[in-house]
């Protein structure tokens, strides 16, 4: 029997959480053709994998690469980590449908450059990705914040009946054209004035399509419990599945609160559909003037438009150098993004270990000094938290990066190694896998990733992109 690619003697972790097995895996075209002991098979390319783990390519449920997949389609920041599928359009901000013109209000201006091509319909964005595919598979949520910016002239009030109707119509069309769910970000200024009732109206449209309400909650700090309760209420009122993005308890005063929030999620799961994801870092990253600096023990400037030379520097040092207070320094740096040290290691571990938590990077690849999570998230979990800390098994970690996520977001044929499934694969060395990216050197590729394949084609080999761009749009 002839395969295009044959992996021999791999430690196969199939994504379901099952214990690894030593198997051969044969790939023909874009699918897994056979698994088992395959002595009679030959491969056009054969990989001897003794001692290496072969797993489903990782699925990142939360990124902001809506534009980067067009402008930097090799997507090395993802394929170098073993990620083969990404979900864009998070936190209420998607690249499409977009009828508004620049300058975009923050944080949309973090995700999109002023010269971004404008996709008035979501279907136009998908068509462009199908015509010029990136290296990874992409799916996209439709952002309520983007819909608000399109539909409203004054964002500082609740949407009126006509505006809600316009947003519902636009959301309905975008979900019909392949959007995989609704995202909201009432934390952010363009949606802060949206009351719970407005979010429920939007969630009802997602529910009608059998899709999820995914949210960057209104508050992840002092009012995280109230915000979680609001999210759960939206799910119950709209009878819609809800998904808490990058769950965290921000600010010193709130360290330890994840014991309560996870108990709330556990209780709610008895009656309604609730899921969550998180990143494996105590620092978060968002617009510099998000108010997060008041909760942080340390703030690094990720990017500043008027002061690009300050990227990577400590905000407190900049303020001291300029002989001004923190607020004044921040004002001068805008528009800017920052990295905020706001979480407790105990909360990070507790949330990551919760049985229903998926792994996400929350990466924003734009900018000169991004958070290391953009390049390092998945290897950090597999190396630091699994191998070094022993938080959970490698099989469990892979499950939270693959099949759990594929099932949650309805990504058919992905996330599991089985005959007939798409050949999205990562080959790695469990003994050496680790993030390479640091807060000082955020663009360093991970260690221990031997290769990454998307739809049966190699996209990352020998610590470099291959130039292949076999990614598909998923819906
Ligand atoms: Zn967010």
CA of 43 to the centre of ligand 1 (A): 43
pLDDT digits (tens, 9 = 90+) for 69-122: 999 999 999 999 999 999 999 999 999 999 999 999 999 998 999 898 999 999
53, 11 Cβ separation under 8 angstroms: yes
Query: What pTM does this model have?
Result: 0.97
- What is d(CA 304, CA 455) in angstroms, rounded to the nearest whole number? 38
Q: What is the phi-psi region of residue 210: left when phi exceeds 0, alpha when psi lies from -120 to 50, beta otherwise?
A: left
Distance of CA 276 from the midpoint of ligand 1 (Å): 12
Ligand 1 centroid distance, CA of 63 (Å): 9
Residue 323 exposed, middle or buried by CB count within 10 Å (0-12, 13-18, 19+): exposed
CATH code, 292-340: 3.30.1490.130
CA of 179 to the centre of ligand 1 (A): 18
Report the distance separating Cα 244 and Cα 71, nearest Å. Answer: 29
- CB of 110 within 8 A of CB of 303? no
CATH number assigned to the domain with residue range 57-291+341-412, chosen from the 4 options 3.40.47.10, 3.40.190.10, 3.40.50.1820, 3.20.20.140: 3.20.20.140
pLDDT digits (tens, 9 = 90+) for 111-131: 999 898 999 999 999 999 999
- Which part of the chain has CATH 3.30.1490.130? 292-340
Q: Per-residue confidence at 290, pLDDT binned at 50, 70, 90?
A: confident
248 C-alpha to ligand 1 centroid (Å):
10
C-alpha 107 to ligand 1 mean position (Å):
10
Mean pLDDT of the chain: 97
Distance CA 226, CA 229 (A): 5
Q: Is 383 helix (H, G, I), strand (E, B) or coil?
A: helix
CA 18 / ligand 1 centre spacing (Å): 31
- How many A from CA of 458 to the centre of ligand 1? 31
Integer Cα distance of 282 and 200 in angstroms: 31
Distance of CA 50 to the CA centre of its chain: 31
Ligand 1 centre to CA of 244 (Å) is 10
Residue range(s) in the chain whose domain bears CATH number 3.20.20.140: 57-291+341-412
The tens digit of pLDDT for each residue in 311-366 reads: 999 999 999 999 999 999 999 999 899 999 999 999 999 999 999 999 999 998 87
> For 293-323, how does the pLDDT look when each residue is reduced to its tens digit (9 = 90+)?
988 999 999 999 999 999 999 999 999 999 9
CA of 332 to the centre of ligand 1 (A): 24
What residue has token string 């609740």?
158
């Amino acid at each position: 029997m002839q395969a295009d690619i044959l992996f021999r003697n791999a430690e196969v972790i199939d994504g379901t959480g099952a214990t690894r097995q030593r198997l051969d895996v044969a790939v023909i075209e874009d699918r897994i053709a056979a698994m088992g002991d395959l002595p009679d098979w030959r491969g056009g390319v054969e990989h001897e994998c003794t001692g290496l783990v072969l797993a489903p390519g990782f699925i990142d449920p939360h990124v902001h690469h809506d534009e980067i997949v067009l402008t930097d389609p090799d997507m090395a920041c993802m394929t170098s980590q073993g990620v083969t599928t990404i979900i864009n359009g998070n936190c209420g901000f998607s690249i499409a449908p977009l009828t508004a013109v620049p300058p975009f209000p923050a944080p949309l201006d973090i995700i999109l450059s002023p010269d971004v091509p404008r996709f008035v319909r979501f279907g136009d964005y998908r068509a462009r990705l199908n015509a010029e595919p990136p290296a990874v598979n992409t799916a996209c949520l439709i952002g309520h914040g983007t819909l608000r910016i399109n539909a409203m002239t004054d964002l500082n009030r609740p949407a009126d009946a006509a505006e809600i109707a316009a947003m519902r119509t636009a959301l309905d069309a975008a979900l019909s054209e392949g959007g995989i769910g609704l995202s909201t970000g009432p934390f952010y200024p363009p949606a802060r004035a949206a009351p719970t009732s407005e979010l429920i109206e939007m969630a009802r449209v997602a529910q009608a399509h059998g899709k999820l309400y995914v949210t960057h909650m209104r508050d992840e700090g002092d009012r995280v419990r109230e915000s979680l309760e609001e999210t759960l209420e939206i799910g119950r009122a709209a009878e819609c599945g809800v998904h808490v993005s990058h769950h965290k308890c921000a600010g010193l005063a709130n360290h330890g609160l994840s014991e309560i929030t996870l108990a709330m999620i556990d209780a709610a799961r008895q009656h309604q559909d609730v899921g969550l994801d998180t990143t494996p870092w105590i620092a978060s990253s968002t617009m510099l003037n998000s108010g997060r600096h008041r909760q942080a023990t340390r703030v690094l400037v990720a990017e500043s438009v008027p002061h690009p030379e300050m990227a990577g520097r400590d905000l407190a040092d900049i303020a001291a150098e300029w002989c001004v207070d923190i607020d004044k320094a921040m004002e001068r740096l805008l528009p800017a993004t920052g990295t905020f040290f706001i979480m407790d290691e105990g909360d990070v571990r507790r949330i990551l270990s919760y049985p229903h938590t998926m792994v996400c990077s929350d990466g924003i690849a734009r900018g000169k000094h991004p958070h290391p999570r953009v390049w390092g998230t998945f290897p950090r979990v597999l190396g630091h938290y699994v191998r070094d800390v022993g938080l959970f098994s490698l099989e469990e970690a892979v499950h939270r990066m693959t099949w759990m996520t594929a099932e949650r977001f309805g990504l058919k044929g992905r996330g599991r190694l089985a005959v007939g499934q798409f050949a999205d694969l990562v080959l790695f060395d469990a003994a050496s896998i680790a993030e390479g990216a640091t807060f000082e050197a955020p663009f360093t590729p991970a260690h221990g990733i031997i290769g990454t394949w998307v739809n049966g084609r190699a996209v990352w080999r020998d610590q470099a992109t291959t130039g292949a761009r076999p990614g598909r749009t998923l819906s």
